[in-house]
């Protein structure tokens, strides 16, 4: 398998970090986890595309994690030469979001259907709302979901990909919790969204300090990785985005609690895990 952090950014626009999105390339195809700002631009850089996705998984429905869902729906539709429903897995509420996105695109869908004679089907999605257990299987690949804790955002889920040779967990936004521990147990890799408590807390600005109570700090993520015997911890969704050259500070904070491999993600960082895809 290959894990590619397509977007290592957060809700705050950043010129060098796209919004949250992680691509896991497997023998069952490309699995995309979250679809934040700029996801398809970053996907294009690694030869991935909306049309070729085997499935899309949403950890939760916060806007920064689904900003470009409409782009995926439209791009998949207009670049396919036969109907190709997009499989979408996410927590309760996902179906209503997808329906609303499709409604938002209604005029565009009409324009394109009227213009292209060979395009006589609408974009379509197969949405499965999930909470726990196996949600996707294909080739030797299994994707499992478990509830996470991002309260007051409810429900939220994390995912684990197993291909028989290795396992990758995509946590999404969450504080440490039992569901995440379940997913992480013995995992080879954990991709975890994090924020720097030590930088945000002193600012004393309520709009920022509010986010501390529903995200993991770097130290929290490191403790989750250590507690569950994870091999590699990938830090992403970096808040605040580290100025170039300061990534080592993030790594050092994680190292205080975790002695495996630590990766502070940049967009398009590509990590091999288990057997080659």
Binding site for Zn ion (CB under 5 A): 62, 64, 173
Q: What's CA 51's distance to the chain center, in Å?
A: 18
Residue 272 structure tokens: 């091999």
Nearer to Zn ion, 1 or 32 (CB): 32
Least CB distance from residue 245 to Zn ion, whole Å? 24
CA atoms within 13 A on the CB side of 43: 29
Least CB distance from residue 16 to Zn ion, whole Å? 18
193 closest CA partner among 213, 220, 168:
220
Least CB distance from residue 111 to Zn ion, whole Å? 32
Nearer to Zn ion, 200 or 273 (CB): 200
Angle at 134 between CA 161 and CA 238, to 5 degrees: 40
Q: Which residues pair with 8 in a beta bridge?
A: none
* 35: Cβ contacts below 8 Å, ≥ 6 apart: 19, 21, 56, 58, 65, 66, 67, 68, 69, 71, 72
Residue where the block lists tokens 């695109």: 105
Nearer to Zn ion, 167 or 216 (CB): 216
Nearer to Zn ion, 76 or 237 (CB): 237
Task: Report CA-CA distances (Å) from 239 to 142, 196, 212, 264.
Answer: 31, 6, 10, 12
Question: What's the CA gap between 39 and 31, in Å, rounded?
Answer: 13
Nearer to Zn ion, 59 or 232 (CB): 59
Least CB distance from residue 60 to Zn ion, whole Å? 5
- DSSP, res 18: P
The kind and range of the H/E element at 181 are helix 178-184
Question: What's the CA gap between 39 and 19, in Å, rounded?
Answer: 7
Question: What's the CA gap between 144 and 121, in Å, rounded?
Answer: 32
Give the residue numbers marked as catalytic.
Answer: 64
Nearer to Zn ion, 119 or 211 (CB): 211
Least CB distance from residue 64 to Zn ion, whole Å? 5
**Strands 232-239 and 261-264, sheet pairing:** parallel
Least CB distance from residue 110 to Zn ion, whole Å? 33
């Amino acid at each position: 398998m290959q894990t590619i952090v397509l977007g290592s950014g957060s809700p705050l626009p950043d010129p060098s970090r796209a919004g949250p999105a992680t691509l896991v390339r497997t023998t069952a195809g490309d699995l995309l986890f979250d679809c934040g700002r700029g996801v398809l631009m970053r996907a294009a850089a690694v030869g991935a595309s909306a049309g070729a996705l085997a499935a899309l998984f949403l950890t939760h429905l916060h806007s920064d994690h689904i900003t470009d869902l409409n782009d995926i729906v439209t791009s998949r539709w207009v670049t396919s030469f036969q109907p190709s429903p997009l499989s979408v897995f996410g927590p309760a509420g996902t179906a209503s979001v997808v329906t609303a996105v499709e409604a938002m695109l209604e005029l565009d869908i009409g324009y394109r259907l009227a213009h292209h004679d060979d395009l006589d089907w609408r974009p379509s999605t197969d949405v499965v709302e999930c909470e726990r257990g196996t949600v996707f299987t294909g080739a030797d690949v299994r994707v499992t979901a478990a509830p996470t804790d991002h309260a007051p955002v409810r429900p939220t889920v994390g995912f684990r990909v197993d291909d028989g040779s290795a396992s990758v967990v995509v946590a999404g936004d969450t504080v440490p919790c039992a569901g995440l521990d379940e997913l992480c147990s013995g995992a080879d890799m954990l991709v975890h969204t994090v924020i720097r408590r030590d930088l945000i807390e002193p600012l004393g600005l309520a709009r920022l300090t509010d986010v501390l109570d529903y995200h993991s700090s770097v130290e929290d993520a490191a403790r989750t990785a250590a507690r569950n015997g994870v091999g590699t911890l990938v830090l992403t969704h970096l808040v605040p985005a580290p100025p170039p050259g300061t990534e080592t500070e993030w790594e050092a904070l994680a190292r205080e609690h975790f002695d495996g491999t630590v990766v502070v993600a940049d967009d398009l960082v590509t990590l091999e895990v288990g057997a080659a895809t």
